[in-house]
Structure 1
Amino acid sequence: MHISRSKFEGITTRLIERSIAPCKQCIKDAGVELKEINDVVLVGGMTRMPKVVEEVKRFFQKEPFRGVNPDEAVALGAATLGGVLRGNVGGLILVDVTPLSLGTSVVGDIFVPIIPKNTAIPCKRSHTFTTVEDGQTAIKFEVFQGEREMASDNQMMGQFDLVGIPPAPRGVPQVEVTFDIDANGICHVTAKDKATCRKQGIVVAASGGLSKEQIEQMLRDAAQHAKADRVKRELVEARNNAETQLTTAERQLGEWKYVSDAEKENVKTHVAELRKAMENPNVAKDDLVAATDKLQKAVMECGRTEYQQAAAANSGCK
């Protein structure tokens, strides 16, 4: 069967165009710009197609590097890796990366990445968390892998509890969570209470036992649901922020000494309005943010009054 070049290129145009999306994602993940890329290496027999070379030149704005045989590149790389692992090849450093982000969940099912996707291993990252309830003495940590905004949409790898945290008001305890991945891809996850140095942890495989196909499917799912996930996360974050502002306002209402009753009533009114908004399961994020901002503004005005009046009352102290 004979086929003309123009017809063949017409048939494969959509496939060639699809190959640019991973290039864009790779550049984004690497945190670089096109002008910072020195060489573009073509790998695989299909890259011999003039149309592929043309598209690469158009996107990267440079001629692709032709010093590597595209039919042999993968085999040479695999052979080199084998030589390094057996100790027969020296002077080379081969870097592996995490295929998906690793992290934990917080209130509202929000996924907090600790080690981002494509981070070179071995690596170590830490993040500090706190309690969400007064007198809370234990925290459950769940370890997830994936790129979705909500933790439950990602792959759960394990969980553990950190107990024995001294009772304190919410937000006071400081718990440091560390993800430490060694050269073998083993991830050690630990949580340590900074006050008592009490520690607990778990060991998981950084790959999560997922196949290449499963990882690729998770990445496709994340891209497909990115917009909806972002909207869902923003609403949860708005609710969490609203709850924090309510707790702050109610605590300060009992502490203010110089704020007038009228100002306190204004704060209480905004507290009631915000609580009403939060009780609505269908509340829009913008409405929740607006109610939260009004309460925060009222609290700040009372705080300013409290500070100024306290300063005036104690102006004669030494």
Structure 2
Amino acid sequence: MKLLWVVMLVAGTVFADDDDKRESVGTVVGIDLGTTYSCVGVFKNGRVEIIANDQGNRITPSYVAFTAEGERLIGDAAKNQLTSNPENTVFDAKRLIGRAWGDSSVQQDLKYFPFKVTEKKSKPHIQVDIGGGQMKTFAPEEISAMVLTKMKETAEAYLGKKVTHAVVTVPAYFNDAQRQATKDAGTIAGLNVMRIINEPTAAAIAY
């Protein structure tokens, strides 16, 4: 979560030189979209607040699940039923986002996922039963967007107002396609991703 200190410093200065723009942007949140866990923070009253989710936790599992009843679960609720519903509980979407189907790391990861990953337009897509035997295919960006939506809603509940802009961290090894896919996930979630920041860079500055 140290990363978010730097993310929020950047977020706080994005439009520091233009009051009109800053007003139209509103509060810019910082999101650490992690492979396993994600968290969100805001710069408030001169310090960074890492926001607790609806379970009271400051980190949220980057998990999305679909139940037999047609309910979509995100975060703690999704992870909690992993063992009982593994084929419809999606995690590690960050390992697939922006990658090609033929990528060796994708092919290696496929061996360990309990959910089904298929090829569509030369990219990995996730296929799950969204309830009642109805199969649906999602791009990794769409799954990540669901996690980002959870982070967005967590921030909105804390702030009491709508959030539309964010700064997001990604691993330094992410290539242009992966960074763009992460931005696309933000767009799907209703967020304008103003900056993409490398995690190691953020960590180095934090220390």
Q: Using structure 1 for the length normalisation, give the TM-score.
A: 0.19
Q: Using structure 2 for the length normalisation, give the TM-score.
A: 0.26
Higher strand share: 2
Higher helix share: 1
